Structure 1
Amino acid sequence: MKTDSLLKTILALFALLSMPAGAAQLTIELDHTSRTWQTADLLKHPDAQTVHIVDDVSYKRAMTYRAVPLAALLPGLAPQSHLQAVALDGFAAELSAAPLLEKTGARAWLAVEDPTHPWPALMPGKPGAGPFYLVWTDPQAGPISPEQWPFQVSRIKQLKTVAERFPALLPDPKLAANDPINQGFALFQKNCLACHRLNGAGDAEVGPDLNIPYSPTEYFSGDFLKRYIRDPQNVRHWPQAKMPAFAASVLPDSELDSLVGYLKHMAGRKSQP
């Protein structure tokens, strides 16, 4: 048995060493199937093509990628399913399957970094968006939020919904389904949960908890929280800041009101992790 284990270890190391420098792998775990893709296999995928992104969320300019339609990598996935894209830095984007499976309008692509032609750094002294990056063509047709553009992706996995996994995030169940606070909860999942936890609930490891020990609605006075969400660097500037700005084209004023309303509501529903 020890010989078999040693042989498997040697074979795994040989496979790793035989990969081209800079090559990577992406694991996609669905309830009914699981597969690990190598960079070379994705670059040669029959559906791979050159994709032009007019206004790249991460690079803040036009970019061109070799990419595969994400739907082609999610065989048999139902539109009502839920996925999570996990990045190397702990960013965990919660993604509804339906937009990822669309073939018209806003369309999701897995951009694949060619190790022989690496992508530029996101900023001086920082790595690039590779090895895998979820990008969108015609994102305004979604609309698609900045948090739905996870980069440095290492794993995509099918999970239960956020509400099922993290009941500590739920608003008061007595609220009507169409209450703006419930809409704010949906917006929180789409725009905030990739970086932040709330009441200790969530998988992200990037930003601070948004309710424990204090909600930002408890220490941002006036309209400063809304101004912060619109343009964080305009309110609190520091070089290492990662939070993106949420323009009105992505998060309209009415939705921003609902999101802040949810956070205010949850300030009264604190629960310790």
Structure 2
Amino acid sequence: MKKTILISAVAAAGTLGYLFWPGPKSDQSTANRITDQGAALVEIVLPENLSTNAQIGKRGFDANCAACHGLNAVGKQGVAPPLVHVIYEPGHHGDESFQRAVAQGVRAHHWPFGNMPPIDGLARPDVTMITQYVRELQRANGIN
């Protein structure tokens, strides 16, 4: 009789354990990767004020760059990198790097997003203003 009760208790515990055991994590992580597509890659602090040139640059950025690089240059998961990042600090990627990226495109070299194509319709003065906007965002976030 004691043996029967013990076997029943073990069977019941096993059944309850099976029913309440969490499912496989790989399914959840796959779901997260799908829903995170396009999510911001960094959190930033916005500057209290933008210079006049940076305000003009923000309008240009929003119209030509934000679709890939995200609003306020925070990047987009699976799409394009954040520009408010130490990799794009002036000492590593000078202002001319932004000019060349827009005019000629860029081969992927820091991030796994693929190549950036050239962007049509932006003249050097436009890119100068956009770069000013990005630099002011960077400075507000401790990237000099």
Q: TM-score, normalised by structure 2?
A: 0.52
- Corresponding residue to 2:103 among 216, 230, 242: 230
Residues 50-86 of structure 1 show CA distances to partners (whole Å, capped at 9, x for unaligned) of xxxxxxxxxxxxxxxxxxxxxxxxxxxxxxxxxxxxx
CA contact (8 A) 2:101 2:116 kept: no
Secondary structure (helix, strand or coil) at the match of 1:243 reads coil
Secondary structure (helix, strand or coil) at the match of 2:141 reads coil
User: Alignment identity in percent?
Assistant: 23
Q: How does 1:48-197 map to 2 (within 5 A)?
A: 90=37, 168=44, 170-173=46-49, 175=51, 179-197=52-70
Any gaps of 5 or more consecutive residues in structure 1? 1-88, 93-166
Query: For residues 214 and 198 of structure 1, what CA distance do their matches in structure 2 show?
Result: 18
Any gaps of 5 or more consecutive residues in structure 2? 1-35
Is 2:128 the counterpart of 1:252?
Answer: no
Q: Give how far 1:213 is off.
A: 3.6
User: Relative to structure 1, is the Cα distance of residues 243 and 182 closer, same or farther in structure 2, using a 3 angstrom cutoff?
Assistant: same
Q: Give how far 1:184 is off.
A: 0.7
Query: For residues 222 and 213 of structure 1, what CA distance do their matches in structure 2 show?
Result: 14
CA contact (8 A) 2:45 2:141 kept: no
Query: Between Structure 1 and Structure 2, how many residues are aligned?
Result: 101
Q: Give how far 1:91 is off.
A: 5.5
RCO higher in structure (CA 8 A, sep ≥6): 2
CA contact (8 A) 1:216 1:225 kept: no
Residue identity in the other structure for 1:183: I
Residue identity in the other structure for 1:173: N
Could you say which residue in structure 2 is the equivalent of 1:265?
136
Query: For residues 169 and 231 of structure 1, what CA distance do their matches in structure 2 show?
Result: 30
Secondary structure (helix, strand or coil) at the match of 1:219 reads coil
Q: TM-score, normalised by structure 1?
A: 0.30
Say which structure is richer in helix: 2
